[in-house]
Structures are given as C-alpha cells and as structure tokens.
Amino acid sequence: MKRSDLLVGPALWRGGWHRDASRLVSPNFGPRPPAATVDMIVLHCISLPPGEFGGDAVQRLFANQLDWDQHPYFDSIRGVKVSCHFFIRRGGELLQFVSADKRAWHAGASSYRGSHNCNDNSIGIELEGVEGGPFEDRQYETLSTLCRAILQRYPVTAVVGHEHIAPGRKTDPGAGFDWLHLQQSLALTSEYFPSIEVARFKL
C-alpha cells in the first residue's frame, strides 16, 4: 500500500494532536530522544476496575487524579504514573492524552525487532477492554481510522501488542483482539505485524 492512499487531510494533526480526538492532557510524558523515529504502534487494553467499562477511572489514572482508596483494586496500582497517546472507549470515542510527537509512558521495559525502550519510538493506543476479551466493532472502526492517520503522518513499520514487546510480563490486548480484521482494514502486509501472528493471516 502506498502512503498516498492513506492521505486524510492536511489539518488532521497539529503539534502531534489529532483533530478528532477529545484532548485530556496527561502530565506523564517527556521528549523523545533526538534520534528516535516514530515507527511503531503499540496496542494495549485497559479498564478500571478490571472488567468495568464506562467510568472515568482510566482518564483519572492518566491524569494522576485517581482516588486510590475508591476501589480495592486501585491499591495494587497506587502511585503509578503512566499514560498513553490514545484511548478508545467501548463505543468508539477517541481520547488523546499525549501529543504523538512526545514520549508517553505506556510500554515499560520492552524491546522489538532490535529496538529497546519502545516508549522512545512508539505511539501507544489503549482499548477499553480486558486482556483476552472481545472488543467492539466501533472500537475497531475508530482504531482503523486512527492507524491510517498515524501511518500517513509517521513512518510506522510495525503494529504490535504490548504482549509482543514485553512477552512474559504483559499479555494485552490478548487473544480476544482480532489482528486479521485490523490487518485487512488497513490493507497492510503481514510484515507490519508480529511474527507470531504472520502464519495466521498472510494476505
């Protein structure tokens, strides 16, 4: 696929912020290393408390405003400071917390295809959901549209899950995520995707 096929309009991005995303700025970010090339999209899933959808706990976590005493689970993540670039709700709503030109804190200790510290060169997208569980059609629609926009702006060569850059430590988005659907919707070759998935869905 040619990148010209992905053109989505010159006004779609401004300073790394996506025009169609609701902006909720997180303080948890920093500059990318000077030599970093944004060449990876990392997919995650999250819900707080786990399995509960529709609240604002994820937004408050990324804003460092979560009430740790509000739910017993929150005590297990007390004090963590994390963020992602984008968050896609179950209904497909798109939120953005960090400019895609900046380094969000989503990957942790990680490596992929010779790159280490994947926060440096990746854009992190959180899907509202649980590890191994299914995702909604509207989430896939928003994700596909967002990935096309990212591919148009940044020289992305890999679309992976957190599980692929931190195996043994992370398992999201998990078996419930439909990689074939995403690949086909983006019309990308299998080389963009994790090698563990290649045999499952070659075009």
Residue 195 CA: distances (Å) to CA of 28, 81, 94, 165, 178: 31, 31, 28, 12, 15
Cβ–Cβ < 8 Å for 44, 126:
yes
Question: What percent of the residues of the chain are helix, what percent strand, and what percent coil, each to the nearest 5?
Answer: 30, 20, 55
Measured between alpha carbons, how far is 147 from 157 in angstroms, rounded to an integer? 12
Closest listed residue to residue 179, CA positions, set 164, 167, 197: 197
Q: Is 126 a catalytic residue?
A: yes
- The residue behind tokens 């005590």 is 75
Query: Which of these is catalytic: 126, 128, 131, 163?
Result: 126
Beta strand 86-88 pairing with 122-128? parallel
Question: Which of the residues are catalytic?
Answer: 126
